[in-house]
Amino acid sequence: MARYLDKLVRATPIESNFIKQLADHFNAEVVAGTVTNIQEAVEWIRYTYLHVRMCRNPLAYGISPVQHESDPTLRTRSRELAVDAAKLLDERKMIRYNPNSGNVAVTNLGRVASHFYIRNESIATFNELLDKNFSPTDADLCHVMCCADEFENIRVRPEELDEVDRLKKECPIKIIAPVEEFSGKANVLLQAYISRARVTSFTLISDTNYIASNASRVARALFEMCLKSGRASAALKFIRLAKSVDHRFWWFQSPLRHFESELKKNVFTQLEDQRRVASEDEPFQLAISLLDMEPNEVGQLCHCFRDGELIQKYVRMLPNVEVKCTVHPITKGTLRFQIELEPTFNWNPRYHGGAEGFWLWVEDNENNRTYHNEYILFSRRNHPESTTLELIIPVFDPLPTQYFIRIVSDNWVGCESLIPVSFRHVLLDGLSSPTFFTSLFDLTPLPIQALSDERYEQLYSKRFEVFNPIQTQLFHILYHTDVPVLLGAPTGSGKTTVAELALLRMKKQNPRSKCVYIAPLKSLARERLKEWTKRLGSPPLNWKVLELSGDTSHDSYALNKSDILICTPEKWDLISRGWRGVSHDFTSSSASNGKQFVRQVGLLIIDEIHLLGEERGAVLEAIVSRTRFISQYVKAEAQCQSEKETTSEMTRIMGLSTALANPYDLADWIGIDVEGHGTNAKKGLYNFHPSVRPVPMVVHIQGYPGRHYCPRMATMNKPCYAAIKDLSPTKPSMIFVASRRQTRLTALDLISHAAGEENPKLFLHCDYDFIEAVAESLNDKVLAHTITFGIGLHHAGLTSRDRETVEKLYLEGQIQILIATATLAWGVNLPAHLVVVKGTEFFDGKLKRYVDYPVTDILQMMGRAGRPQFDKEGVAVVMCEESKKNFLKKFLYEPFPVESCLEGRMCEIINAEISIGTINSLSDAIGYLKWTFYSRRVKMNPSYYGAKSSSEEDLEDFYLDVVKATLSRLKDEGCIVVNETEGTDFLVVPTLLGRACSNFYLLHNTPMQMKKSITSLKKVLAHHASSDKNLQDMPINSFVNKDMAKRVKNIRTFDLDYPIYIYAVAHILYGLSSTHENDELPVRHNEEELNLELSKSLPWGHDLSKLSFWMEKKKQPGNLLDIMLDPHTKCFLLLQAFIFKGKLPISDYINDMRSVVDQVPRLLAAMECIAIEDKGSAGSFEMFSCFPMVRKIFSTGMLNLRSAVDKVVFPATFEHVWVSKKIDKASNQHVGLLEIGFKFDRNVLKNIQSKKSNADDSQSSSVTLVLGTLLGGYLLQTSSFAIPDYRRENYWTKNIGLNFDWNLAEANGGELNCVVLRVVHEFAHSIDLDMSISLKHPE
């Protein structure tokens, strides 16, 4: 009594029990990234209540008064606690602890324990039990789980033993431990809970509930432990057990038990009995097999005769995923699995919710190991879209017969599939040859005087005095021979100078020859243009350097006078298609402009030729194959003219690359003799090892956990900051990230970490007032904020002025850190001592998921560290998802062979060669294919491409099948016509659609798509565009003289102020948006919501329904967000936003809109050329009137209506208008000729152009004439011309003659017997005219 009274009067302080679980909490902080070393652990302990009580009551925690007196803050004791916890966790493999440095690092076990709240004692138990048994049974694993420390509170009471023994008899899985132990009792109660056995004792009911609430968590922790450690069998059994606990039925029971409330009980019992009778078939496969039966058969089997259809309905809801896998050998020990996952079940929100998760892993049953695991999520919004995975899987000698892909539902019991992947067809024999590497000789560096030309020496005199070792070794073959060269060397080896030596050689031998430099990206092309214009375009050389990319255009004169052309692959592919000079009436296309100078190309330099193996590699392959064909043709032509052998006409090809695994194939393809012997064998082939760097580099590869991308990126920010402080505290550092958003988030986190150490300006190395002034001049607000802390941003969303400012500050060392998107690695050449690759994944808009960077991209980023002219050493830190760490360690410096990507663009490339006349038959196509890199790789690695073997007979059959399939697809899309001949060969002829596809660089299925869109628009215009539109009449005498006024019946204004024309313009833009060219426009995470808001703010909405005034308005579809996920819908919205000056939701849309708008002129020109094929159909006149209106909208940057203009002054009058008729002798048909003379007032033109909303000096003043019939809207003729702006006269005249079908015009001339001439000025609004011209001679 006295004790309790004392407690009431004097309260006892509450002491801390934190020490008991210190190790578990320490592990949690390590996983969270809060604690990375013992010093940080001590600081963390000082924030705990434990530290407070140790200071107040040290004796209670084993601290003597002497110890407390010598260390009042108890740092020593805190350190002892931290070290003891670290050692314990390290012993149990939950962290990695280095006693020397005090650093701690997280492990998979520690991460799993933290995420699932598992005690370290349990982890120790699991490690011990799992290591004892390599092939555990279900009973063994149930025992392992029930031995968890979480169940130690389960006590065995004597009065419960009888009931426990009864329950034990009902357990389907053997109980290993005796029931007198807590693990045995827990095992019995767990199985009783899953089996739904009846428990009567109140204490047992309480214990069962406790076990049930913890068992699933522990089982899932064990599942992830086993999965990450590669234990395939154990992982499968633990995930089964976890799901069984959640749903209270066993995995060997029917999965239809998920629908217990909907189906009768005997359905399950009959199916389970059927499984036992048949064999040990998986219950899931047995349930799925019910779909192969008739409903009455299903009802009979389940003894529910009327419920057959109902049962099948619920079977279709079981989450079933169809798996297709193709195997591509890469090296002898590495295979690429391309896996397509297609959900084949019916989605029901009641049962499936918003998403369904699956675990997929690749396992080897012989060794009971997993080689890859991944979590796949299917969302309701994207259902039933398939998902594609590309996995790199190791194989070992001898090659196993098969691996297995197992896919297991994360939530549904029993729903799992096992798919065997056979290796019988995989041929690895051709992949066993070792990689050829060139030895770097110890040569005396050559001085620049070896060039023997003062003009050339001046190029390098201010940069260096001697060439580096690689340049020295290649100097003779570059500067004194004309053989093709393939150079594989690490980034930073001076490959640009190597290319320049070949260029100097070409100009020295033949000053009139041209060099074409192919850059993989526009940014790299701009950098090379800037550098070479400064160095080669100035005295004493004064060479003309031009850039040809999607953003630039030059006339034929400039192209013919140029010395060096810097191109993107796609642009040169398009230009070189016109090398024969066959334009097929596409005189305005870029292809026909190339015919004058393509044959004069003496040197073709392809930078980063290893990108042949990436998505755009097919274009590079087409370029080189065509270049070799052209050079052979020119050589043969020269021999015929000179009647003697010549070898000087061959175009020299130079390929620059990183180190290659299969250099022989590439070398042979570009014309190097790799099979010969003697002095000329392999002449021109140089493939240096990746370690041969002018500047040594240390590489650190760090793995980070996390299933989701954004949280994983966030965990990398603190290690990023630590890497900069440790490895490059004062020298420039560069951080590469995947997106603009990540540049911003990374910069803000680095600032906060620096501020946490009370030094926010740590990375700023200039005067604060100066950087404030610079920040005020920047357009980007985020950049203006971060740059004041010494951190710059660099991405495509910045203006060119902002980018140049950041580059200048970084180069001058005034800011220390530059955070850039990955494209900078290929573009601007900026120095860095330290490069951090923060994440090795990027979001693929086409696949709508994150995919890995190619290893070549990572090497390119790393190559920015330690550039020779800036630094003497370099450091690279690669931060990746933990499962990718071992892959990068193995393959970062063991490059994969470069494989061909031609197959993905085979239709476009074959169609282009058919259009220009290179291919005229099936045999020509097979012959062309043998010129390509594709054929060389098929021979070396037949299994990768689907060939049976590398024998000549099998290869011929393979080429024949590939070409036939390609020509069949082109025929189906209307690109070619096939003319059968005798024998197996046949002729192929290009159609208008095929030539349009080639000349306008379209995908092979786009022209047919455009044709269908054109046809539907013409039908609408033919029905709804009447001849009388209440157009405003203009006084005829203001435009023509009195004599001509008799011929001209009326002149009216023409503009878009009518619903049908607004619809037509919108339909054209909708058709352009719907083409396959926009399939890969990125729709990022959550952008469907932004697209929906944007569509509400735009007048046309997301489709044409608002403008279809002749149709009844439909209700909005329920799946509107699904529509907003479509990249074509986003494209249509972006085009509207450009026209109507709509406000874009986020900055990413600005760059998206720019890329979409840039494509419009090309696609519109293609659509117009395709439409000309059927110009004689009704509605064509109105449609061809809308094409120049669309060009006008994008030229002026606005959609202007008549009501917006107060007073209009027209710039043109007509000096004469004549109509005559004659008979065409060839066709014996009447042909009409309309002759019209224009007179333009230049002063009026200048006033109009000065009022343009986005006046662009580069835009010419184009005028389009469209001649059509008064009735039916038939197109008679169309023409266009440009008003020159270099003349000084006040007036400019132009005479135009238009031939037309007289009979068609007369038949549809109406009562007045007229034709209509529509004059559209593409440079200004509200000055377009309609002129009705009589076909009768005036009386």
478: Cβ–Cβ under 8 A, 6 or more apart, which residues?
485, 498, 501, 502, 505
- 783 HSE (CA, 13 A, CB side): 27
d(CA 520, CA 609): 9
d(CA 573, CA 912): 10
pLDDT in tens, 741-761: 899 999 999 999 999 888 889
Question: How high is the pLDDT of residue 177?
Answer: 92
Question: How high is the pLDDT of residue 147?
Answer: 94
Q: Is residue 607's pLDDT more than 70?
A: yes
The backbone torsions φ and ψ at residue 393, rounded to the nearest 5 degrees and listed phi first, read -120, 135
pLDDT in tens, 354-383: 899 999 999 998 888 899 998 999 988 788
Strand, coil or helix: what is 811?
Answer: helix
Question: How high is the pLDDT of residue 628?
Answer: 83
In order, the DSSP letters of 206-252 are HHHHHHHHHHHHHHHHHHHHHHHTTBHHHHHHHHHHHHHHHHTS-TT
117, 217 Cβ separation under 8 angstroms: yes
In order, the DSSP letters of 635-677 are HHHHHHHH-S---TTSPEEEEEES--S-HHHHHHHTT---S--
pLDDT in tens, 1297-1325: 999 999 999 998 888 889 999 999 888 88
Paired sense of beta strands 1261-1269 and 1275-1283, if any: antiparallel
Q: Is residue 860's pLDDT more than 60?
A: yes
Nearest alpha-carbon partner for 877 in 673, 1078, 724, 1069: 724
pLDDT in tens, 1267-1278: 999 888 899 999
pLDDT in tens, 805-832: 999 999 899 999 999 988 777 766 787 8
973: Cβ–Cβ under 8 A, 6 or more apart, which residues?
907, 993, 1004, 1005, 1007, 1008
202: Cβ–Cβ under 8 A, 6 or more apart, which residues?
none
Nearest alpha-carbon partner for 469 in 439, 499, 449, 513: 439
Q: Is residue 396's pLDDT more than 60?
A: yes
Question: How high is the pLDDT of residue 662?
Answer: 86
1061, 1189 Cβ separation under 8 angstroms: yes
**Positive or negative, the Cα torsion across 924, 929, 930, 931?**
positive
Cα distance between the two ends of the chain: 135
534: Cβ–Cβ under 8 A, 6 or more apart, which residues?
none
pLDDT in tens, 659-670: 888 888 899 889
Strand positions, DSSP E, 456-532: 485-488, 514-518
Paired sense of beta strands 791-794 and 817-821, if any: parallel
Going from the C-alpha of 807 to that of each of 86, 439, 527, 720, the distances in angstroms are 45, 37, 13, 21
Q: Is residue 1233's pLDDT more than 70?
A: yes
Long-range contacts of 1062-1065 (CB under 8 A, 24+ apart): 1062/1107, 1063/1020, 1063/1104, 1063/1107, 1063/1108, 1063/1109, 1064/1017, 1064/1020, 1064/1021, 1064/1025, 1064/1182, 1064/1183, 1064/1186, 1065/1186, 1065/1189, 1065/1190, 1065/1193, 1065/1199
Strand, coil or helix: what is 1328?
Answer: coil
Q: What is the mean pLDDT of residues 548-567?
A: 77
Question: How high is the pLDDT of residue 1029?
Answer: 52
Q: Is residue 775's pLDDT more than 90?
A: yes
d(CA 1263, CA 1244): 15
Strand, coil or helix: what is 1169?
Answer: helix
Judged by average pLDDT, the poorest of 593-597, 641-645, 728-732 is 593-597
d(CA 530, CA 564): 13
Q: What is the mean pLDDT of residues 644-660?
A: 74
Q: Is residue 1031's pLDDT more than 90?
A: no
Question: How high is the pLDDT of residue 1207?
Answer: 61
Question: How high is the pLDDT of residue 1195?
Answer: 82
pLDDT in tens, 472-530: 999 999 999 999 999 998 877 888 999 999 999 999 999 989 999 999 888 788 888 98
Beta bridge mates, 976: 990
229, 389 Cβ separation under 8 angstroms: no
385: Cβ–Cβ under 8 A, 6 or more apart, which residues?
none
pTM summary value: 0.84
Cβ-count burial 172-208 (b if 16+ within 10 Å, e if not)? ebebbbebeebbbbbbbbbbbbbbebebeeeebeebb
Which tokens hold the place of 1261?
């003043």
In order, the DSSP letters of 259-294 are GTTTS-HHHHHHHHHHHHHH-S--HHHHHHGGGGS-
User: What's the one-letter identity of residue 53?
Assistant: R
Q: What is the mean pLDDT of residues 1090-1119?
A: 79
The backbone torsions φ and ψ at residue 703, rounded to the nearest 5 degrees and listed phi first, read -100, 140
360: Cβ–Cβ under 8 A, 6 or more apart, which residues?
339, 341, 373, 374, 375, 376, 389, 405, 406, 407, 408
Question: How high is the pLDDT of residue 875?
Answer: 92
Going from the C-alpha of 276 to that of each of 252, 279, 300, 315, the distances in angstroms are 10, 6, 18, 20
In this prediction, residue 1256 has a pLDDT band, given cuts at 50, 70 and 90, of: very low
Instruction: Write down the residue that tokens 């890329």 correspond to.
Output: 1155
Question: How high is the pLDDT of residue 967?
Answer: 95
Question: How high is the pLDDT of residue 206?
Answer: 94
Q: What is the mean pLDDT of residues 451-477?
A: 91
d(CA 1078, CA 1072): 9
376, 281 Cβ separation under 8 angstroms: no
Q: Quick one: what percent of the chain has pLDDT higher than 90?
A: 47
95, 19 Cβ separation under 8 angstroms: no
Please give the DSSP secondary-structure letter assigned to residue 815. B
d(CA 1154, CA 1163): 15
In this prediction, residue 1167 has a pLDDT band, given cuts at 50, 70 and 90, of: very high
Q: Is residue 976's pLDDT more than 90?
A: yes
Cβ-count burial 876-909 (b if 16+ within 10 Å, e if not)? bbbbbbbebbebbeebbeebbbbbbbbeebbbbb
Judged by average pLDDT, the poorest of 331-335, 472-476, 1260-1264, 1318-1322 is 1260-1264
Question: How high is the pLDDT of residue 1254?
Answer: 44
Centre a 10 Å sphere on the Cβ of residue 439 and count the other Cβ atoms it contains. Answer: 9
Q: Is residue 386's pLDDT more than 80?
A: yes
d(CA 549, CA 528): 13
In this prediction, residue 1326 has a pLDDT band, given cuts at 50, 70 and 90, of: confident
Q: What is the mean pLDDT of residues 1288-1294?
A: 81
Q: Is residue 224's pLDDT more than 90?
A: yes
Question: How high is the pLDDT of residue 643?
Answer: 56
Please give the DSSP secondary-structure letter assigned to residue 443. P
Average pLDDT of the chain is 86
In this prediction, residue 134 has a pLDDT band, given cuts at 50, 70 and 90, of: confident
359, 707 Cβ separation under 8 angstroms: no
Question: How high is the pLDDT of residue 1255?
Answer: 40
Centre a 10 Å sphere on the Cβ of residue 46 and count the other Cβ atoms it contains. Answer: 15
Q: Is residue 398's pLDDT more than 80?
A: yes
Q: Is residue 653's pLDDT more than 80?
A: yes
In order, the DSSP letters of 157-187 are -GGGHHHHHHHHHT-SS---S-TTSHHHHHH
pLDDT in tens, 250-300: 999 999 999 999 998 888 888 888 765 544 457 899 899 999 999 999 988
Q: Is residue 1036's pLDDT more than 80?
A: no
Q: Is residue 734's pLDDT more than 90?
A: yes
